[in-house]
Structure 1
Amino acid sequence: MMTRINYNNDLQTLYDAVKQMGLTIETSIDQTWKALQKLDVKTAQAIIDGDEAIDQMERNIEKACLELVLTQTPVAGDWRRIASIMRMISDLERIADHCSDISEYIVQLAAKPAVELPAPMEKMFCLMKTMVKETVDAFVELNEEKARVVIGQDDLQDDYFLQVCEELCTRMQQHPEEVRQRVDQLMIAKYLERMSDHSTNLAEWVVYIVSGQLVNN
């Protein structure tokens, strides 16, 4: 009985670590948007420099998962949770990587003549941020319904991405002198779309943890 109590405590510690990783990434997303709006090189560089700390979070959680498997005796449902967490932290780490990737483009954009962001890009950023937050909340609450809402938002993000692409193509045709900046903005939009894809993956793993059902893409 004591072993099981210790195991449950370790599992809760694992959940708390994933939650903290998610909250840290939410903060990084907020800072990335602020840096993009103002082309703030200092903030962008801080995001780039801070990526290693999130990588370390992933390694620590992965190690804790393996130790839990090796030292305890997980039952079937626990195996599902632990395996899902190991997949989830990979998606979380990729979202953090993309914050860093976007920040590198912010540094490049700051060195060029300023151009306005495509109008739909703010919608892309806000939706991606919402998807990440709702997925983290769904994981903390083990809320399948909330996770499925996130999964359903991925198509909307794809629509926003196409709108950004169309606007950027039009602006490059009308203002050839802005092509370099517009290409950078296109790459940023692609990273936002990928971050939403990773959020969708995360939500699918939450559904699996709660229901044991793998979501069909």
Structure 2
Amino acid sequence: MPDIERKISEMGLMATRTVDETLDAYVSDSIDDVQRIASHSDHVGRLSANIRKDILTSMKDDVDTIDTGADYLVVVGYLKRTADHATDIAEWLVYKRSGKIIELNPGSSSFI
């Protein structure tokens, strides 16, 4: 499933970028980049949905990919949650700095 593996790699890089930027914002106590953080997390969510469809299609078309596909679904879910957690931290930073409660990525809390 090389195409799916490439997409998972891209998703992992974007999730890492989301975490890195969130940590930078936390260390600098800045909320200037929270919209960019939210955008990265949203991108991870869209990748997650697309990859999930690809995995399920592959599993339906070729039963030999079921075990690997199941593992990939778990990995994709964890990467998505990682980006979601980073966004939660960014939301907390906004609250800490401004006293405002915001939802940067509404409706994106599902595992996969």
TM class by shorter-chain length? 0.7 to 0.9
C-alpha displacement at 1:148, in angstroms?
Answer: 2.9
Check if 1:181 corresponds to 2:94: no
Aligned to 1:212: 99
Identity %: 24
- Which residue among 10, 22, 25 is the counterpart of 1:138? 25
User: CA offset at residue 139 of structure 1?
Assistant: 0.7
Secondary structure of 1:204's counterpart equals helix
Are the aligned partners of 2:17 and 2:40 in contact in 1 as well (CA < 8 Å)?
no
Tell me if structure 2 keeps the 8 A contact 1:148–1:204: no
* Displacement over 4 Å in runs of 4+: none
Larger Cα-atom Rg: 1
For 2:38, the equivalent position in structure 1 comes to 151
C-alpha distance in 2 between matches for 1:168 and 1:150: 27
Matches within 5 A, 1:106-117: 116=2
Taking structure 2 as the reference length, the TM-score comes to: 0.82
Report the AA paired with residue 174 of structure 1: D
Match of 1:15 in 2: none
Alpha-carbon RMSD across the aligned residues, in angstroms, is 1.6
TM-score (norm 1): 0.44
For structure 1, which segment, 130-139 or 166-175, has the greater mean C-alpha deviation from structure 2 after superposition? 166-175
Aligned amino acid, residue 54 of structure 2? E
1:171 aligns to what?
Answer: 58
The alpha-carbon deviation at position 117 of structure 1 amounts to 6.4
The number of residues matched between the two structures is: 103
Q: Is the 8 A contact 2:95 2:101 kept in 1?
A: yes
What are the residue-to-residue correspondences of 1:1-217 with 2, within 5 Å?
Answer: 116=2, 118=4, 119-216=6-103, 217=106
